[in-house]
Chain A
Amino acid sequence: MKILKICSIILSTLFVSSFAIASDMKVGFIMVGPLDDHGWNYQHSVGIKAINEAFGDKVETIYQENVPEGPDAERVMTQMVLSGADMIFATSFGHMDPVINVAKKFPDVKFEHATGFKTADNVSTYSARFYEGRSVIGHIAGKVTKSNKIGYVASYPIPEVVRGINSAYLAAKAANPDVEFKVIWIFTWFDPAKEADAAKTLIQQGADVIMQHVDSSAIMTVAEEAGVFAYGQASDMSEFGPNAHLTAIINGWGPYYVKRVKEAMDGTWKGKQETFDGIGDGMVIIGKMSDKIPASVRKEAQDLADSIASGDIHPFTGPINKQDGSPWLADGEEADIGTLLGMNFYVEGIEGDIPQ
């Protein structure tokens, strides 16, 4: 009898405590990888924390890690909505079609999709002008490289990644005309082993600065061991390579998330919005710059970041030719947003082909 009594006490406390939360709004997040990747997904979790800090008990946040980009994403989002979520943030490009499908079934739920290009009455998209950050780190790379070879570990040949390579190359070339880029495509966003292998190959080919458009911190670790430089991707990765880490392009989702949740609560949230913010809006943040960068270069980089933020400098300003030598932008002309969003060509000077 005593055991039964103890059990019933445990049971009742456990159940009561967990069902006692009442909030005005429930916001769900789906991530393509683990939250502790120290990169892309981790920064979204920082954004979730910003929501929790801003709204406290008024907003309940739920999340799910490792959601594949296909029918599984559709199921997870549907279950989140059934559990009472009023708003869903899908944080990976490949969640795009699942978002559109689920949004059609639940017209009263608000959806936000990162980096995609499909919207609806209850679906908005958001992305950051990461290429602005790439321009700043490209400038630093051009200045600090001794071998004049810069390695670039790229994920998938989608416009966002191609844009980053072009932007970094243009800035590096402007800082150092002898600079060469070597790009390796590994067709994954998160695979520490593949990322490390690609970085090692680039270092063997003589690269002494490695850039990455993949999510893990493996490249930073390899760079530290090999005594070359690298950059934090999406968040500060200096703990993985205190000597290698030059600076980081940090994704600042917090302000946007807080703003959109607030709009949803106030009833002013709108679908069909396509947000594309940069350094000036705080969505792209240049991290702390390492002492290994000469002070003068640090100042140049900071000035470049400030000018991009204020709009005085656009990373894609003519004259720029395409890789095949055909003209793209005339002298002084700035790239239009449509071309940037669909960018599928290298600029002149980059060797190799985009996998087609």
Chain B
Amino acid sequence: MLKIEPRKNRSNFLEVSAPVIAVILTMIFGGFLFLSMGKNPFEAIKLIFWDPIMSPTFSEYSRPQLVIKAAPLILIALGLSFGFRANIWNIGAEGQYIMGALFSGSIGLALYPLDAWFIFPLMILGGIIGGIFWAMIPAILKIKFNTNEILVSLMLVYVAEQILALASISFLRNPEGLGFPGSRDLSKYPSASNPELIANSGIHVGVICSFIAVVFLTYFLTYHRLGFQIKLIGQAPKAAKFSGVNVNYIVIFCLGLSGGLAGIAGMFELTGPAGLINIDFNVGYGFTAIIVAFLGRLHPIGILFAGLLMSLTYVGGELAQFMLSIPAAAIQVFQGMLLFFLLSTDLLVSYKISFNLGINNSNPKSKSE
């Protein structure tokens, strides 16, 4: 008979150690998963968690790759976390990411081949505006008509994907691309490219930007009045209203922030690693960032580590796939386990499980609970 009871005080020990326990549990159960497929579990876990950081063969290349892959996840998750704290559920960051890339890409391609210093900053601005624009649709609909922002933002992802496909085969298509879909390669257009900051590492401005965003938003959440109000709305919506918090303003702010950050992430990905607008430009960062936001417990510093961890499971997961012939689906199950165990250990922070052997069971109701 298991019984779940609320704790009187949240467990500080578990608050800190829950993510670590979740990772360890994922390793154990993931190990059994790999073992059941006839793969060496120790080698698989080592390839995923150790080799990208420490192995002499891979680490020199994969260390910067971890940060590059994590950067868009961190940027998007940071924005989402503010909304999630205030119970504003933006599920459509993927669409805002696409629109950010499309807006900035359109600016860059429209000015091609002009050589000027202002093009790149203008494109950053375009990315932000594109993301905010796409996020304002669910925000305004929510305020005016009380629509559900989860559905509206999610559906707009598919609209954005269609616009992306249209752009790649029509108005942004590379005129020198022999009729194939896809725009010009912006990474080869100096005024619009997002170059490597450290030679051969691939580390670009977007990576630095995501670190700055972590620091800035940590400060904002802790010290700014708006950060406090967001926390208040999530924890006690009625109290927040009585204390004069303008809920509509918070909706606009949270969706705008997440849209803007998703848009800028799209812009950096476009001008850096991806290089060009194409039909398959988006690879799901906007959805994975939701996991990252929760894995990081909706706190900017936590999100920084969660983004890096998530990126590690991608980069390391790839190594495990081709070194041991593990199917891609098994790696996705492994990533899913991580979230599952995190959410389940989270429960233990504010609840405790007591084992009731039925000896002193005076309350028969508890059995059915």
Contact = CB atoms under 8 A, between A and B. Distances in A.
Contact of A69 (B166, B179, B278): B278
B353 to A, nearest CB: 28
Interface string A57-100: 00000111110111110111011101100000000011001000
Interface residues of B, number: 41
Interface in A246-288: none
Interface residues of A, number: 41
Interface in A1-43: 11, 14-15, 17-18, 28, 34-35
A71 B280 contact: no
Given A82-B61, A344-B179, A64 B328 contact: yes
Given A34-B328, A69-B280, A117-B178, A157 B169 contact: yes
A192 interface: no
Given A71-B274, A355-B170, A65 B279 contact: no
B58 interface: yes
Contact of A156 (B58, B61, B181): B181
A11 B42 contact: yes
A164 to B, nearest CB: 15
B21 interface: no
A226 to B, nearest CB: 26
Given A34-B329, A62-B323, A70 B178 contact: no
Nearest to A33: B328
Interface in B32-67: 40, 42-43, 57-58, 61-62, 65
Interface in B240-274: 269, 273-274
Interface string A175-201: 000000000000100000000000000
Given A35-B327, A68-B283, A15 B278 contact: no
Given A34-B329, A68-B280, A156-B169, A75 B179 contact: no
Contacts of B323: 62, 83
A79 B318 contact: yes
A349 interface: no
A63 B325 contact: yes
A150 B350 CA distance: 62
B181 A157 contact: yes
B275 interface: yes
Given A15-B43, A83-B322, A94 B170 contact: no
9 shortest interchain CB distances as A-B pairs: A71-B273, A344-B179, A66-B328, A65-B328, A62-B322, A64-B322, A187-B165, A14-B40, A68-B283
Interface of B: 40, 42-43, 57-58, 61-62, 65, 68-69, 162, 165-166, 169-170, 178-181, 185, 269, 273-276, 278-281, 283, 315, 318-319, 321-325, 327-329
